[in-house]
Copies of this chain bind each other. A is one copy, B any other.
Amino acid sequence: MIRLAVDGMGGDNAPAEIVKGTLMALEKFDNIEITLFGDKEKMAPYLKAHPRLEVVHTPYFLEMGEKDPIKQYRTHKEASMFMAMQHVKDGKAEAVVSAGPTQALVVGGHFIIRRMPAMKRVAICPVIPSYDGRGRLLLDSGANVEFKPEHLLDFAVYATIMAEKVLKRDKPTLGLINIGTEDGKGRDFDKETFALLKASSDVNFVGNIEPKEVFTTEADILLSDGFTANIVMKTMEGTAKGMGMLLKREIKATFLSKIGALFMKKALYKFKKSLDASEIGGALIMGLDGVVIKAQGASQAYGFYNGIRQAKEMVEANVISLVSEVLSKKEVSEE
Contacts and interface: CB of A to CB of B under 8 A. Distances in A.
Interface of A: 67, 130-131, 142, 145-146, 177, 179, 182, 186-188, 210-216, 227-228, 230-232, 234-243, 245-247, 250-251, 253-254, 256-257, 259-268, 270-271, 274-275
A21 to B, nearest CB: 24
A260 B271 contact: no
B234 A254 contact: no
Contacts of A239: 214-215, 235-236, 239-240, 243
B260 A263 contact: yes
Contacts of A262: 260
A146 B186 CA distance: 9
A174 to B, nearest CB: 18
A97 B239 CA distance: 29
B212 A237 contact: yes
Contact of A250 (B130, B235, B241, B267): B267
A291 to B, nearest CB: 25
Given A227-B187, A234-B211, A234-B212, A267 B242 contact: no
A252 to B, nearest CB: 9
B215 A234 contact: no
Contacts of A227: 179, 186-187, 228
Contacts of A214: 234-235, 238-239, 242
A335 B257 CA distance: 61
Nearest to A215: B242
Contacts of A211: 231, 234-235, 237-238
A67 B180 CA distance: 10
Query: Can you list the 6 inter-chain pairs with the closest CB atoms, starting with the nearest?
Result: A215-B242, A260-B263, A260-B264, A257-B267, A235-B235, A250-B267
Given A142-B179, A146-B188, A231-B235, 16 more contacts: A131-B242, A131-B245, A145-B179, A179-B227, A211-B238, A215-B242, A215-B243, A216-B241, A228-B231, A235-B235, A243-B275, A250-B264, A251-B264, A251-B267, A254-B266, A259-B260
Contact of A240 (B241, B243, B265): B243
Given A247-B271, A250-B270, A263-B263, A187 B145 contact: yes
